[in-house]
Chains A and B, each alone.
Chain A
């Protein structure tokens, strides 16, 4: 049941895709559209230490003995 739901979700998400020609991709290629994080590593580390949650950055995060 769970796998059916996952496949349905992915299929639904992919159906939302649209083809954009290379000459129409100027806005998609803008710096503010491609950066993964808008905060630097120091603020990212503050969040990692002060929030009990993690994930979503698509980057490997080191542990520390900070808190």
Chain B
């Protein structure tokens, strides 16, 4: 997989350098290397190095790019402890490539990416066409995404055990220039998902009705173990899901600062409703520095089938389990606040098109789970160091 990513990157570099020899003035190369570290209070650590390269020639009307990313995850979360498992480590590889053509007012972009874990493979492709009006006042874009996921179990070949998921759907977007300093972007996404999304490792504790009433939000592992029944069936989710998202983004640049405000409203057929609000202000500090504080608030209701404690119907020796059940806390009601800031250093000065930049981003996230077992909240810290070169 690493060889494939390197081959793609080498191809893009060769194509770009060949083009540069023909006409060096029009080719722009963006190279980016990044290292992100994530730690949280639920004993999860993720280290993510990534590298990407993008080449474009605006006068010839083409662009191409490739990206490679590795997630090294180490987790001993409460869910792992609750299933009597030991600390778990895994590496995920992600590769992606994209290319596009521009002819007059029309743009066509295509991308293909894959995510690879020992027990999960996901491949996603996207095709997007765009049109800009002759006066350059607005751009319309229509895209379609098709993806296929295969979930398995570690140590078991996919042919022996696999769960398949198909995902596809359109995106319609418009970018509107309001004046010489501001623009608005609106987009609508629809995603149709069909297949089994249940996790093959996730066991859901079961309770009698009386015991379930005694469990409060954030009930400890000991309390759950005291009250749970012997049954612990695997998670089972509905076999289809349709997601709808509407996003509006306002951007304005005044003087040395850029304001970005974004709101996404989301709803799906599992009954989950969410709002994500994101505000960022990037301000230049002299010739070399830029500081960009940001704040994000995500809040959501639970899915219609979400229960803090699932109740079995017992009649003598007959036990009836809930047909749909999950322990995925991200399907329950929650809110997350993320506060962060980026400090960017442009070594050649912010007004220079070519050069090198270092960006340090630090962010803190607090999630409150409003109706869940084991934990009521999670604190997370995330730090990213990026080097960006433009040639």
Q: Do A and B bind each other?
A: yes
Which residues of A come within 8 Å of B, CB atoms? Answer: 10, 13-14, 16-20, 22, 24-25, 27-28, 30, 32-33, 38-43, 45-47, 49-56, 58-67
Partner of A54, one of B151, B191, B367: B191
A41 to B35, CA, bound (A): 10
Nearest CB in chain B: distance from A50 CB, A: 6
Report if B38 contacts A (CB, 8 A).
yes
Residues of A within 8 A of B151 (CB): 65
- The answer to whether B386 and A13 touch across the interface, beta carbons within 8 angstroms, is no
Nearest CB in chain B: distance from A60 CB, A: 4
Residues of A within 8 A of B298 (CB): 47, 51, 53
Partner of B382, one of A33, A43, A56, A63: A43
- The answer to whether B145 and A42 touch across the interface, beta carbons within 8 angstroms, is no
Which residues of B come within 8 Å of A, CB atoms? Answer: 34, 36, 38, 46, 48, 50, 67, 69, 71, 73, 92, 94, 96, 111, 113-115, 117, 119-120, 122-126, 128, 135-138, 141, 143, 145, 147, 149, 151, 165, 167, 171, 173-174, 176-181, 183-184, 186-187, 189, 191, 199, 243-245, 247, 251, 253, 258, 260, 262, 264, 266, 268, 272, 274, 276, 280, 282, 290, 292, 294, 298, 300, 303, 328, 330-331, 334, 336, 342, 361, 363, 365, 367, 380, 382, 384, 386
A5 to B175, CA, bound (A): 19
Partner of B282, one of A14, A17, A32, A46: A32
Known: A56-B247, A60-B147. 6 other contacts (CB 8 A): A19-B137, A38-B342, A53-B266, A54-B191, A62-B94, A62-B122
Residues of B within 8 A of A63 (CB): 115, 120, 122, 124, 147, 149, 165, 167
Nearest CB in chain A: distance from B155 CB, A: 14
Closest to A26 in B: B180
Residues of A within 8 A of B245 (CB): 53-56
Assuming A27-B181, A28-B183, A50-B367, is B50 touching A67 (CB within 8 A)?
no
A43 to B38, CA, bound (A): 9
Nearest CB in chain A: distance from B42 CB, A: 11
Residues of A within 8 A of B247 (CB): 55-56
A25 to B191, CA, bound (A): 35
A41 to B117, CA, bound (A): 17
Residues of A within 8 A of B178 (CB): 16-18
Closest to B122 in A: A63
